[in-house]
Amino acid sequence: MSRPRIQHVSIPRPPDSHAQTRAFYGELLGLEEKPVPETIRHLDLIWYNIGADQELHLFTEEPLDDRSGRHFCIEVDDLAALRERLISAGHEPWDAEPIHNRPRFFCRDAFGNTVEFTTILGDYREGGA
């Protein structure tokens, strides 16, 4: 393996939540929805492009315990503007322990999944060492 990378992240959403999924990930976050392969369309998936060649897959599952630490992170250009959009839409972002050169916050989607948002300003190690 020369340089491994994440190709996609899969997270659950409740049954019959198509409109909420598209409102949060498509409209609010501005992600581009992409077609699900024909061979697995029966699984009731919704897929989005994230960046040039990464994907977010949302699959149908009964709600789970919301205390889990599982999450995924989306890097954005304007962290403050996104936070304001989320608040305006009725979401409640919260801060996390700081990481040098990586301002960030967390927010739950409409189904209780935790999403981290960050901007990468440079090396995360103090002094770049």
Name, in order, each residue with C-beta under 8 angstroms of 77's C-beta and a sequence gap of 6 or more: 119
Averaged over 18-27, what is the pLDDT?
A: 97
Radius of gyration of the chain (CA): 16
CB neighbour class for 7 (10 Å; exposed up to 12, middle 13-18, buried from 19) = exposed
Q: What percent of the chain has pLDDT over 90?
A: 50
Of 79, 78, 30, 81, the residue nearest 56 (C-alpha): 30
pLDDT value at 129 more than 90? no
pLDDT value at 12 more than 60? yes
Averaged over 41-45, what is the pLDDT?
A: 89
Instruction: Tell me if residue 100 falls in helix, strand or coil.
Output: coil
Q: Cα 15 from chain centroid?
A: 19
Q: What percent of the chain has pLDDT over 70?
A: 88
For the structural domain made of 8-62+70-128, what CATH number should be given? 3.10.180.10
- The pLDDT value recorded for residue 63 is 67
